Structure 1
Amino acid sequence: MSSRKNRRSEKILVKEGIQDVNDANRKKFGIAGLPRLELLVYGAIAIVFFIWYPIYKVYVESQASVYKFNYGVLVDGFDVLGGLKDDADFEWNFWRELITLKGSVIVFTYIAFGRLALSFCAEWRNSVLLLFSMVSITLLVTWKCMLVLLCYAVFMYLVSFSKRALVVWAAVLGQLYTIMSPFLLSYLSNFTDSEFDYHMTIFSVALCNLRFLSFCLDYCSHFSDDSTRFGVLDFLLYIFYLPLFFSGPLMSYKDFHNQIEKKSERLSIAQYLQIIKELLRYVICIIFIEIAMHFVYFAAYHQSFNLLRRLPLWALAGNGLCHLIFFQLKYEVMFGVPRTVAMLDQVNTPKPPVCILAVFRFVDMWRYFDRGLHSILLNYIYIPVGGSRKGFVRQMLGSLLCFAFVYYWHGVETHIFYWALFNWVGVVLETVTSKVLNSETAKAYVYKFNLSCVSWRRLTALFSAPGYIALSLANLLFLSGIDMGYLYFERLIIKSFPTGPLVMLFLYYCMVQLILECHRTWGKKYLCEKAYL
């Protein structure tokens, strides 16, 4: 009788996830525990050889190449930190220009006006926020940029009256084309007063078009439910809302409108403390980035191809790692600082990116890095096409259209095409693998070979490591362009074969084990969704 019960319990465990009833290491958050010594070995190897040593080699090479970089990529920094700093990242410099004294004064004045409006004329608060936002943006980017944006906005608001999704899509794709056409861009260049205004206009048009898309498609779907939600002032506030205008994070119109229209109440002490805590986190990120750029010139190497290709292998790997970490920290700041300002208006925006080293799947990278963009793609492309509920073919078609739109939105460049293609292939392979491993046949085979939970975890890490490497290389392709992206692949994989790929596989395996242990300790959802913020 007892043997029947044991067999029955074993079958149940097999269905629930291939458990070994005799395994001493119990699962937590669905992940088995490893021996402590084994984890310590993985941790030591990952910290020393995956993170510290490659970055140290970049530091050594950077200091040895100070006078070899192209002119202008290194500028005078803080004397106490050594004098010179890496100034080659355009996007970081672009954002930093916005938070000069003028930008900071405008933001603090905006916060003060918002508090006064809430206290003395709460019913007019949104109108005050809209007026101040539009005036502030005009002061920061000149009236010419604002005029261009208003022309785009008025056109899209008129398009929304068609109440046809295909017309909206055609208008958005057409407007995006206007900032890709060399012929039209030449007119824009002549119209704007400076290079900063020119690039700001292009970037703002691209970002605003995602908001146009969200508003217009929501208008098409929900106008009959409540037409008062889609007034011209609601539209303009959504498009030009100052805290989120320049860098995001993106929000759908529905989410933004529901929050901004809520009856506002005074923030409690606990809410103010939460905002201050988050802001301090982002200030620390800014300080860390600025200090690091005095010692490791990773961005400068991407402006000096000849120096990059002559780097020793460990230094080249470290340079790529620095770029990936900087990519995440940069958007942590660019999404996080606006988020804290929006929180003062009781608008809860998508959270900043997850740590890029803590993501080893393509699916999770898209889900938890730019959460706002993921929400737009999910709600307006993936789900309308069918999503995961309409079968595998519709699911993959939805994913393909999402990546096709991302490619088009980013500017139809060659390296963006390959980056989007590699990401789509990665998502497809992960989806197929997940379906195969969750099939009854696969579970029966695993049970047949009597694999323990710990063995299953080791196999999971081993087979996840190649995907983790592919994800890192794909991100480097996106960040550095086609020539430098291929250089990383050629030096790290092809020319160093087989030693290089095997070393990378082992190091990435150790990192996957650390990530799995973090998921086991705190929970993947808690970490990836940043529930601790």
Structure 2
Amino acid sequence: MRVWCFIKNVLITLFWFLFEGVMLHFVYVNAAAFHPLEFLQNLESWAFYGFGYAMGQHFHIKYVVIYGLSTSLSSFENVMVPHLPRCIGRIHLYSDMWKYFDAGLYKFLVKHIYIPIVKLTSLKLLASMATFGFVYIWHGTATYILIWCILNYIGIVLEQTCSPLLSVKKSEGIKFFLDWPRRMRCFFGAVLLAVSAISNFYFFGGKNIGDLFFRRLFADNLPNTIILLFILYCGAQVSTELCPVHARKCDNNPIKMKY
């Protein structure tokens, strides 16, 4: 049984490795940071946004392949390891991105930086700032890394601040009105998701690529912006629906391959 699980996990990892190789023959996401910006500037809005989504999926699959090999060997040796990165297409909150994309890094940051500072000072904002300060130094003290960390810190703070304001007890009102807090959370999450995507584009492609996406988001025409926010809102609804199921599966079987 253990050998079969090992072979299955390796085959899954090999599939995503080959899939990524084929994808890079058609969508040159790695070359975006080294190509003249006119290439991206001349793309119409939906090709431009699609290219950004492809950048995110490329980054996700790369981590699935790298972590897939190590977790396959670890699971074969009965070593408990964090679950593989969750697909970015099913994450819309900053907190979930940090919690479920790189679970090992998240547990390290929480255990060795965030919790000790909270116990010492009781200041969660300070603990979060120190945590992202470590992330900034760990990933390299470049300008685009600093922008990425600042946007993530602001997003986490806004998310944690606004979440209680959008919650409601199940005993209040009828079901129609009970659904509105979720709709409001998803709408708020859609806005945060747009900013989160831009922050990740800084991380994926550097400052010039991030600046280009930032300008396009706020300079695009109103109909495109409304459609984009509606698509992100739908993604937030799907993410909200799948989040409890996926979290349960990861907790019950942390070494099982989930994408």
TM-score, normalized by the shorter chain, greater than 0.5? yes
2:38 pairs with 1:312: no
Matched, 1:412 2:136: no
Distance 1:475 1:527, change over 3 A: farther
Q: Letter of the aligned partner of 1:349 in structure 2?
A: V
- Other-structure match for 1:510: 234
3-state secondary structure, aligned to 2:84: coil
2:206 corresponding residue in structure 1 = 481
1:390–1:433: structure 2 CA closer, same or farther, 3 Å change rule?
farther
Q: How many angstroms apart in 1 are the aligned matches of 2:178 and 2:243?
A: 15
The match for 2:223 is: 499
For 2:197, what is the secondary structure of its paired residue?
helix
State the match for 1:331 in structure 2: 63
Determine if contact 1:282/1:337 at 8 Å carries over to the other structure.
Answer: yes
How much does 1:528 deviate?
5.8
How much does 1:470 deviate?
Answer: 1.3
Partner in structure 1 of residue 190 of structure 2? 465
Shift of 1:373: 1.1
- State the match for 2:34 in structure 1: 303
Q: CA deviation at 1:346?
A: 2.7
Is the alpha carbon distance of 1:348 and 1:527 closer, same or farther for their aligned partners in structure 2, counting shifts above 3 Å?
A: closer
Could you tell me whether the CA contact under 8 Å between 2:83 and 2:250 is conserved in 1? no
State the SS of the aligned residue for 1:349. Answer: coil
Question: Per chain length, whose mean CA-contact separation is higher, i.e. which structure has more relative contact order (CA < 8 Å, sep 6+)?
Answer: 2
Three-state SS of the structure 2 residue aligned to 1:346 is coil
Letter paired with 2:3: Y
Q: Give the superposition deviation at 1:385.
A: 0.7
Q: Is the Cα–Cα contact under 8 Å of residues 368 and 528 in structure 1 kept in the other structure?
A: no
- The 5-angstrom pairing of residues 205-284 of structure 1 reads 270-284=1-15
Match for residue 355 of structure 1?
A: 87
- Structure 2 CA distance for partners of 1:485 and 1:402, relative to 1, 3 Å: same
Distance 1:471 1:530, change over 3 A: farther
- The aligned counterpart of 1:422 is 151
Question: Over residues 223-249 of structure 1, what are the superposed CA-to-partner deviations in whole Å (9 max), with x where a residue is unaligned?
Answer: xxxxxxxxxxxxxxxxxxxxxxxxxxx
* Partner Cα distance (1:271, 1:410) in 2: 36
TM-score, scaled to structure 1: 0.45
Q: Is 2:258 the partner of 1:526? A: no
* Deviation per residue, 1:247-296 (Å, 9 max, x gap): xxxxxxxxxxxxxxxxxxxxxxx222222222111111001101111222
What is the Cα-based RMSD across aligned positions, in Å?
2.4
Q: How does 1:367-446 map to 2 (within 5 A)?
A: 367-386=99-118, 391=122, 394-438=123-167
Cα offsets for 1:172-198 (capped at 9, x unmatched):
xxxxxxxxxxxxxxxxxxxxxxxxxxx
On the 8 A contact 1:415/1:478 being kept in 2, the answer is yes
Separation in 2, partners of 1:527, 1:326: 24
Residues 515 and 450 (structure 1), Cα distance of their counterparts in 2 relative to 1, 3 Å cut: closer
Q: Distance in 2 between matches of 1:356 and 1:505?
A: 17
From the superposition, tell whether residues 397 and 314 of structure 1 become closer, same or farther in structure 2 (CA, over 3 Å). Answer: same
Q: Which amino acid aligns with 2:30?
A: A
- Structure 2 portions without partners, runs of 5+: none
How far the C-alpha of 1:437 sits from its partner, in A, is: 3.6
Q: 1:526 to 1:302 in 2, by over 3 A?
A: same
Q: Does 1:286 align with 2:11?
A: no
Letter in 1 for 2:190: A
Contact 2:172 2:178 in 1 (8 A): no
> Which position in structure 1 is the counterpart of 2:180?
455
How far off its partner does 1:518 sit?
A: 2.7
CA apart distance, 1:461: 1.9
1:343 aligns with 2:67: no
Distance 1:272 1:363 in 2: 35
- Which structure is larger by alpha-carbon Rg, 1 or 2? 1
The separation in 2 between residues aligned to 1:498 and 1:410, in whole angstroms, is 36
Please say if residues 360 and 464 of structure 1, whose CA atoms lie closer than 8 Å, have aligned partners that are also in contact: yes
Contact 2:32 2:205 in 1 (8 A): no
* Pair 1:302–1:366, CA change in 2 (3 A): same
SS in structure 1 opposite 2:82?
coil
Count of matched residue positions in the alignment of Structure 1 and Structure 2: 254
Change (3 A) 1:285 1:405: same
Check whether the contact 1:437–1:443 (CA below 8 A) recurs between aligned residues: no
User: Which SS does the other structure have where 2:31 is aligned?
Assistant: helix
Distance between the aligned counterparts of 1:338 and 1:290, measured in 2? 20
CA distances 1:275-324 after superposition (whole Å, capped 9, x unpaired): 22221111110011011112222222332122122222211111111000
Query: What is the rounded CA distance, in whole Å, between the counterparts of 1:336 and 1:287 in structure 2?
Result: 13
